[in-house]
């Protein structure tokens, strides 16, 4: 016997305001340090930057108070903190490249993307008043996701950069449609699984005390697997295919509670990984760069050069880092996008990197908590899927940079330079705000 | 700026970063919402075992946790209390204070009875002057004091038995 008592919800809007203040302070201090070390510090400009950040934070806060008053209080501060550090780091790379005679404006561009991303997230909570609306677009989202995934293959539209064909050029800017396809697929998986979870969970033979799915119920899993493999073959995008497949398996597990799906999924993943390694040279070279990164031969041939330079950068950072603007992260190729984690590891040290990872953990934990609190099956799957997507993406990137897993090109959410990633991840935050708002909103008392 | 202040700023940045992280966690710690489930003794199977054991050892009184389960204490408590003498909650006692006791199936009730014949808010037991009263709150299947169906508030004396579905409540002075 147990008593069930309701615990009053605290909206936490005031705590959010305090945390937002900390996040803004962090962003401004980071930029100040970067500017100082580049001998570029002008207090007027920094004051304008600080005012801009404060205004953005206040606007977000007011928008949430207005349109999602019960939304989670720590999501936005954690994201803004990450975003501020990312902006400072990217600006720092601009200075470093300028010192070497390469003129870049990554920092300014990224500020514009950030503002656009914030606006999109606020638009999500303004327009999407009930997340259950998304369930109506289950199959539409699936089709949109597939189209997004395949767009880079369209001749004339898709562009190939560094051997991966994952960009499309729109208005002179290159976009990665896969980042947006990720959200569409999570919506599709959530809608699909909430309808079909019972067949997937209950039917099938029992082997070793675990219920395995029937072959014909494996259809969707096989389909996603094939799609992921095709992306990998034609677009040479290991990261996205890994991410998509991982999200699907995780959501399948959340929907059915069957460990057998995870085992089947991991088995299929292992098969795919081995097959790809045997068949494609670009995958095989990634494996070599991972396993034999420090071999003189592999390093000299350039396969593992980026990875090893990143590792040395992080090692020189040590426990507390060289300090923002005082290291040499520009020695690593793509230090502002793919390897921003290594740059941060060098300049903020292990202490800073751990704090950054903890911020990601907090974001993911809030998504999972929202999934638990949501009363609707679709919302549970959506929140869990979005949270897991962020977690897996961070794992793939940070794991790749720190040589835990083979390096695959994905962006670090909110930190790395890249417009599509910034916009897509802010949309994810908008969705999570809406979901958590509805999860935490007290139910109207019916007598 | 001197080297010292630069180093301080560098470390200050890390401190600020961790302050953000830790205060976010502190906010999370206070952010419990939803429902809290308090165990009220063990399951029925283990309770039967406990009762058997209690008979052997003959020292059934548990720590004064307010609501007590298991076999009803034979010691005379100082305050009046409400004892459940039959039904799924048999053995539960509730000390009666000045606050009214709400009985029903809803989770907000003081005494939650999981019984199909019990309404969400079934009846209320409250203190009026120095007398305890029992009042039916418009329940579907009725509250019975002895053999009489309760409509208006009626006095609830020590030793009286109130029946709600399969549950019987006894007031003990």
One domain, residues A271 and A341 = no
Query: Which of B5, B8, B24, B105 to probe the A interface (max A CBs under 10 A)?
Result: B24
Measured in angstroms, the CA of B29 and the nearest CA of chain A are apart by 11
Q: Domain for residue B68, yes or no? A: no
Q: Which residue has the tokens 């169906």?
A: B149
Length of chain B counted residue by residue: 173
Q: For the residues A382-406, what does the mean pLDDT come to? A: 94
Per the domain annotation, does A443 fall within a domain?
yes
CB-CB neighbors (< 8 A) of B13 in chain A: 26, 29-30, 33, 324, 348, 352
Taking CB atoms and an 8 Å cut-off, how many pairs form between chains A and B?
Answer: 125
pLDDT score, position A325: 86
Residue A260: domain span = 137-279
In chain A, positions 103-162, which contact chain B (CB-CB < 8 Å)?
Answer: none
CA–CA gap between residue A182 and residue A188 (Å, rounded): 10
What per-residue string of b and e applies to A66-104 under the rule 16 or more CB within 10 Å gives b? ebbebbbbbbbbbbbbbbbbbbbbbbbbbbbbeeeeeeb
- Say if the Cβ atoms of B33 and A352 lie within 8 Å: no
Q: For residue A199, what pLDDT is reported?
A: 77
B7: chain A residues, CB-CB within 8 Å:
323
pLDDT digits (tens, 9 = 90+) for B148-170: 888 888 888 888 889 888 888 88
Closest CA–CA distance from residue B27 to any residue of chain A (Å): 7
Distance CA A33, CA B10 (A): 8
Identify the domain containing residue B149 by its residue range: 80-172
Long-range contacts of A143-147 (CB under 8 A, 24+ apart): A144/A181, A144/A184, A145/A181, A145/A182, A145/A184, A145/A185, A145/A188, A146/A181, A146/A227
Chain B neighbors of A23, CB-CB under 8 A: 20
Determine, yes or no, domain membership for B11. yes
pTM (2 d.p.):
0.76
**Cα three-residue angle A319-A331-A322, rounded to 5 degrees:** 25
Of B10, B31, B108, Cβ closest to residue A10: B31
Q: What's chain B's average pLDDT? A: 75
Q: CB contact, 8 Å: B107 with chain A?
A: yes
* A224 and chain B in contact, CB less than 8 A: no
Residues A194 and A325 in one domain: no
pLDDT in tens, A70-125: 999 999 999 999 999 999 999 999 999 998 888 888 999 999 999 999 999 999 99
Res A175: pLDDT:
81
Residue where the block lists tokens 């494609």:
A280
B27 touches chain A (CB under 8 A): yes
Which H helix or E strand runs over B128?
strand B123-128
Nearest CA in chain B to A360: B21
Decide if A232 is inside a domain.
yes
Question: B20-36 in b/e burial notation, b at 16+ Cβ within 10 A?
Answer: bbebbeebbeebebbee
Query: Is the pLDDT assigned to residue B64 strictly greater than 60?
Result: no
Give burial (CB, 10 Å; 0-12/13-18/19+) of A36. middle
Averaged pLDDT, B91-120: 83
Per the structure block, which two tokens stand in for B119?
């309404």
Strands B101-104 and B111-112: parallel
Q: How confident is residue A4, by pLDDT bands cut at 50, 70 and 90?
A: low
Residue A285 within a domain = no
Q: What letter does residue B65 receive in the DSSP assignment?
A: -
A42 and A108: one domain? Answer: yes
* Domain contains A4: no
**B4 shares contact with chain A (CB less than 8 Å):** no
Whether residues A40 and A93 fall in one domain = yes
């Amino acid at each position: 016997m147990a008593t069930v008592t309701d615990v009053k919800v605290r909206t936490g809007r005031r705590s959010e305001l305090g945390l937002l203040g900390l996040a803004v302070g962090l962003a401004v201090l980071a930029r100040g340090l970067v500017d100082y070390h580049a001998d570029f510090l002008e207090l007027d400009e920094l004051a304008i930057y600080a005012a801009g950040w404060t205004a953005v934070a206040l606007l977000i806060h007011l928008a949430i108070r207005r349109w999602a008053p019960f939304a989670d209080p720590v999501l936005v501060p954690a994201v803004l903190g990450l975003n501020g550090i990312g902006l400072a780091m990217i600006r720092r790379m601009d200075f470093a490249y300028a010192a070497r005679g390469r003129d870049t404006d990554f920092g300014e561009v990224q500020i514009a993307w950030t503002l656009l991303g914030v606006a999109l997230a606020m638009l999500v909570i303004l327009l999407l008043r009930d997340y259950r609306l998304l369930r109506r677009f289950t199959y539409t989202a699936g089709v949109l996701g597939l189209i997004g995934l395949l767009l880079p293959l369209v001749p004339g539209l898709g562009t190939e950069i560094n051997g991966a064909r994952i960009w499309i050029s729109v208005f002179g800017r290159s976009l990665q449609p896969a980042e947006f396809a990720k959200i569409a697929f999570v919506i599709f998986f959530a809608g699909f699984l909430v309808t079909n979870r019972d067949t997937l969970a209950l039917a099938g033979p029992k082997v070793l005390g675990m219920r395995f799915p029937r072959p014909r119920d494996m259809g969707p899993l096989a389909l996603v697997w094939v799609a992921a493999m095709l992306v990998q073959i034609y677009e040479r995008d290991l990261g996205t295919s890994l991410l998509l497949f991982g999200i699907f398996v995780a959501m399948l597990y959340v929907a059915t509670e069957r460990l057998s799906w995870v085992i089947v999924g991991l088995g299929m993943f292992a098969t795919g990984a081995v097959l790809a390694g045997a068949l494609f040279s670009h995958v095989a070279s990634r494996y070599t760069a991972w396993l034999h990164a420090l071999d003189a031969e592999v390093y000299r041939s350039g396969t593992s050069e980026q990875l090893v330079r990143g590792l040395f950068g992080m090692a020189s950072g040590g426990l507390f880092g060289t300090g923002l603007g005082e290291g040499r992260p520009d020695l690593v190729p793509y230090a502002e996008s793919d390897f921003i984690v290594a740059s941060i590891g060098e300049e903020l040290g292990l202490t800073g990197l751990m704090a950054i990872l903890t911020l990601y953990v907090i974001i993911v934990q809030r998504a999972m908590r929202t999934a638990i609190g949501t009363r609707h099956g679709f919302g549970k799957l959506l929140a869990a899927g979005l949270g897991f997507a962020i977690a897996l993406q961070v794992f793939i990137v940070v794991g790749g940079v720190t040589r835990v897993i083979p390096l695959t090109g994905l962006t670090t959410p909110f930190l790395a330079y890249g417009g599509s990633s910034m916009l897509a991840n802010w949309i994810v935050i908008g969705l999570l705000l809406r979901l958590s708002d509805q999860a935490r909103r007290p139910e109207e008392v019916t007598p | 700026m001197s080297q010292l202040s630069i180093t301080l700023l560098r470390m200050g940045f890390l401190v600020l970063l961790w302050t953000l992280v830790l205060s976010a966690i502190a906010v999370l710690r206070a952010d419990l919402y939803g429902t809290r489930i308090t165990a009220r003794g063990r399951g029925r199977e283990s309770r039967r075992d406990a009762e058997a054991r209690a008979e052997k050892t003959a020292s059934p009184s548990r720590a004064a946790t307010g609501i007590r389960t298991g076999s009803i204490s034979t010691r005379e408590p100082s305050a009046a209390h409400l004892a459940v003498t039959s039904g799924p909650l048999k053995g539960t006692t509730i000390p009666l204070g000045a606050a009214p006791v709400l009985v029903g199936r809803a989770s907000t009730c003081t005494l939650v009875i999981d019984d199909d014949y019990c309404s969400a808010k079934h009846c209320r037991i409250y203190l009026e002057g120095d007398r305890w009263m029992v009042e039916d709150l418009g329940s579907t299947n009725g509250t019975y004091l002895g053999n009489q169906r309760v409509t208006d508030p009626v006095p609830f004396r020590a030793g009286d038995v109130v029946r709600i579905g399969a549950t019987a409540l006894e007031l003990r002075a």
